[in-house]
Each structure stands twice: as C-alpha cells, then as structure tokens.
Amino acid sequence: MILFGRLKNRTTLQFYEELQLVYDRFNERLFKNELPDCLITLQRINKNTGYWSENRFASTEDDTAYTHELALNPDYFGTQPLLNIFKCYAHEMCHMKQSICGEPSKRSYHNAEFAAFMLEIGLIMTDDGTKEGRTTGEKMTEIVAPDGLFIQVCNELVDEGRIIKWYDKYAPKTISSLEMIQEQVQLLESIPTASPKLFHIALLGNEINSALKSPKKEKPVEEPTPTTMNPFDVAIGLIDISNTAANLGGYYPTAFDEDPLDDDDQPIPEPKVVKLYKGEQPNGDDNEFFVLKETMIGETLYQELGSANFEEPEPKKQTRASFACPECGRGATCSPTFRLSCTECEVELVPSKSIDKSQVKKNKKAAKADQGDAE
C-alpha cells in the first residue's frame, strides 16, 4: 500500500492518469462504452495534433493480443486551448469507432459515415472552418455544436479539474501570443455554452487565462408596448383618412356617447396608435392644428389633431465659426466669440454665410485694376 501511494504521486503516473480518465469519460458518455481499451502515447508528429493506429502494439506475453494506439502530440499542449486537445481525442476515437462498427475509407479520408459519427457526439465536420464547408475530405477540422453532447462532457471534465497539468515550455510556437488570445476570444463568442477553462492556453500564463469570462447573455429586447388611447376620451378632433372622399366618415366613438356601441351593438375595438408625430404635420391651410397621432379603431384609420406646442431641442453650442472679410473675401476659422479684422481692408470680419460673394468678386477686380494703373 505504501509503495502504491508513492507511485501514484509520481509525475508520469499522474500525467497519464488524466489522459486515461478523459478517454474513459468520452468512451462512456459519447460512445456508450463501445470502444475497447487502447494505448495512449505521446508522439511529436509534425503539424498534427494526434492520430489513431489500429492494432499498433502487440503483447510480449500473448502473440494473439494487440491493442490500438491513440497518439497525442505534446507540442500542442501548451499552445492550443484545452478544447482542441479534447476535440483531437474525440476525433481519433471516432476513427476507432468507424474501424470497428463502420466502413472507413482510404487512409486519412473522412467520409460521410465518419461525419455522421462526429455529428452524433456534437462535432460538425468542415473543410474550411465554417458550417457551410464540405463535411468530407482529407484535411478537415471540427466545429463544436453549442448544444451538443461533446461540449457538455467537456464542461464536466474541466469542472472536475480534469486538465492537462504538464506542457512543454519549449514547444515551437506556430502562432503568436496575440493570435492565441484572438483564437480564445473567437471560441468564447462561437461557443457561449462552454466553460472559459476550456479555452485556457498554458503558454499564455494564468493571468491572461483567468481573465477569460463567458460572454454576457444579452437580455432580450422588449418591444415597446403600443400606445393606446381610450375611445371615449380622444374622439373629438378625429378625422377619417382611410377614405379620401370622406370627412368624419363612418361611426367613431365620442366622449358624449351615452352608449359606446356601434350600430350592431358590438363593442368598439380598442384603438391603437400606429404613428406619432411631433407637430411637423400641419393640417389645413391655416395651420391651426397639427396631426398628433394616427390611430386605428377597428379597420378605420383616424388622425388625432391638436394645437400642442412642441419644444424645439436646444441647439448644440458652436465651438468653431467661419469668418470672412466682406471686401476681399479672406477668411479665418476660430471661436465664435472672437472679433477679427482684415489688416489690408481695415474692416471687421463677418460670418462667412453673410458675405455677398458677387460683391467680393467686383472688389477683387477693382483692386487688380487699381494695381495695374499704379504700375
């Protein structure tokens, strides 16, 4: 017992125990324990996160005993989000399932059956990184379905502390730290259901990784409740505009109705304001009244008129103004509180908009003529 306890705390056993636990959990939750035991190895494969090899290892004790290999590339443990390592696991385990239960294509080709196996566990195959890409081919990647089983199991693993605890700090970086952070942010936005711990990248350090937070769920925008009005309060001043030939056409309720029912003794439909104005729609030639609202009562459209005074918004304070000489047209831009003078014409500059341009042209021609005579 003492010897076992000492061995269990050794780095190698601790490291491989975590790798085995991930395999066992995926086998149980994603593959219903259909996959056999295999040998998990660490292999530095150029530009490859991992691979699966059928019956790669043979037993020295039994000539008929073989086991599959699931290889992971430790170079990526420090430079890739943990989620990508988990995706590699699931990808290679799907290859194992297809070899046992399906019909795999030639080496390295992912066929439609393989794509279907991946989709069952919550991973979407794509050849270009988008959902619109092809689901079959040789060089492929996976998109995580936000509501799929795969991301649920991954969340469970990191919540239990099942992570890659050791990484190669000298592993070659294929992308910069900035690109790593950008990838983290993109993953957070594309998979809002994922735990931020799944996007941790060891080489970035705890300070940056701990800053990762799930995007805030936006509250649904509530549509404004349509303004309604009491038909017995606002009837005076309504004009029927649903029929151009009619003025006050049809029945409409008034504040003086003793029996607010129409001719068929049916309740009056609840009015609904369909458009609001701010006094910019004058009605009639005398402009005495303004259109305040357009209101539907049943199938009839009315306008509500009024003479309300609408406050004009305060103009923004002007911080810069253009001035020009009324004689020669020379200008300047400065604070509107300044007073400027033209040194040549000896007159005060005025706002540019008030300049008579035709007069300025005449003055310039006259000045040129005087200059010519002087020469």
At 315 the pLDDT is 65
pLDDT reading at 217 higher than 60: no
Are 302 and 325 in a shared domain? Answer: no
Q: Answer yes or no: do 287 and 335 share one domain.
A: no
Q: What is the dihedral of CA 66, 68, 74, 78, to 10 degrees?
A: -140
Q: Given this model, what pLDDT does residue 37 score?
A: 94
Same domain, 298 and 328: no
Domain finish residue from 306, 331, 359: 306
Provide the b/e sequence for 337-366 (b: ≥16 CB within 10 Å).
eeeeebeebeeebeebeebeeeebeebeee
Listed residues 306, 335, 353: the one ending a domain: 306
Q: Which of 345, 241, 353 is nearest to 294 (CA)?
A: 241
pTM, 2 dp: 0.56
Kindly tell me if the per-residue pLDDT of 271 is higher than 80. Answer: no
Considering the domain architecture, whether residues 353 and 245 belong to the same structural domain is answered as: no
Average pLDDT over residues 197-203: 88
Q: Judge if 122 and 253 occupy the same domain.
A: no
Query: Tens of pLDDT along 119-140?
Result: 999 999 999 888 889 999 988 9
- Among candidate residues 200, 251, 178, 252, the one with its CA nearest the CA of residue 84: 200
Number of domains in the chain: 3
For 179-196, what is the mean pLDDT?
85
Residue 237 has pLDDT above 90, yes or no: no
pLDDT band at 202 (very low <50, low <70, confident <90, very high): confident
* Stretch 235-246: mean pLDDT: 36
- Give the pLDDT confidence score for residue 2 in this predicted structure: 41
Q: Could you list the residue range(s) of the whole structural domain that residue 265 is in? A: 238-306
- Long-range pairs, 242-248, Cβ under 8 A, ≥24: 242/299, 242/300, 242/301, 242/302
Do 154 and 285 share a domain, yes or no? no
What confidence score (pLDDT) does residue 19 get? 94
Q: For residues 151 and 56, state if they share a domain.
A: yes
Q: What is the pLDDT of residues 276-288, one digit of tens each?
A: 555 444 444 444 4
How many C-beta neighbours within 10 Å does residue 21 have?
13
Tell me what the mean pLDDT of segment 204-218 comes to.
63
Of residues 227 and 173, more confidently modeled: 173
